[in-house]
Amino acid sequence: MTDRIVVDGLTKSFHRPGRDSTDLEVLGGVSFTVRAGEFVTVIGPSGCGKSTVFNMLAGLESPDSGSIDFRGENTASHCAYMPQKDLLFPWRTILDNTILGLRVQGVPKQEARRRARELFPVFGLSGFENSRPSQLSGGMRQRAALLRTVVQDRELLLLDEPFGALDSLTRTDMQSWLQEVWQRYRWMILMITHDIREAVYLSDRVIVLSARPATVRHELVVDLPRPRELSTITSPEFVALEEQLLAILHEESRRASVQQG
């Protein structure tokens, strides 16, 4: 068995209330793989089922048909999920926020704190262990949320729009920072974003989902050298990849609009 996640033919429909309503078919057979050490991004029109796929990977929802496999097992016990909002508890210190996942796993508090503290310098949070979330900037809060995810030492990180709530400058800084720490640790990352430029800048591959019921419309290999500087986004090669994804996504968004109309 190889170290890769295999998503095979996922389908999912949701019941819509009302006597004459029909079920909403969200996923129509989604299949893709993610290899160890790979950074893969999922994009697609709004409402196409990206988060539904993530919920299945995390074990929060079950597909109607299809499967998810990692070494012959379900992925839920191998992944850590970071949602768009940082969800830090305002009454807890940053250190005690970052150990929540470990505590849920049953790790003793002192051991959990030790493991989390080791990562504070890497995440640019040294000196803020005893601060409250309200004392941190948006970017630092997201770093704390990612530390909380990473410290669980799972093999797959699910990042659902991790920088979507940040301002443009902070978002750019966080993208560069994430690329840097990912190259250091080589986590297996699967990320959702609506930002095409972010997808190209960070990813090894970009998976484009179609309009509902979603299938994989296209997989784009981002064959750009790493590390990627910010100047990379103005290169002809980068722009060509961005334009290719934009054209596909616009076509699928138009299909989604027709369906909803």
Give the model's pLDDT for residue 24.
87
CA-CA distance, 186 to 165, in Å (whole number)? 25
| pLDDT mean across residues, the chain | 90
Domain 4-260's class?
alpha beta
Which positions ≥6 away from 43 have C-beta within 8 Å?
50, 192, 193, 194, 196, 199, 206, 207, 208, 209, 245, 249
User: Of residues 85 and 257, which shows the higher confidence score?
Assistant: 85
Which positions ≥6 away from 132 have C-beta within 8 Å?
90, 91, 92, 93, 94
Q: What is the pLDDT of residues 159-198, one digit of tens each?
A: 999 888 788 888 899 899 999 999 988 999 999 999 999 9
Total-model pTM: 0.90
Q: What is the pLDDT of residues 12-60, one digit of tens each?
A: 998 877 656 678 899 999 999 999 999 999 999 988 899 999 999 998 9
Give the model's pLDDT for residue 1.
44
Q: What is the pLDDT of residues 48-68, one digit of tens each?
A: 899 999 999 998 999 999 999
Residue 261 reports pLDDT greater than 60: no
Residue 120 reports pLDDT greater than 90: yes
Among residues 188, 178, 186, 183, which one has the least CA distance to residue 156? Answer: 188
User: Of residues 142 and 258, which shows the higher confidence score?
Assistant: 142
CA-CA distance, 164 to 149, in Å (whole number)? 17
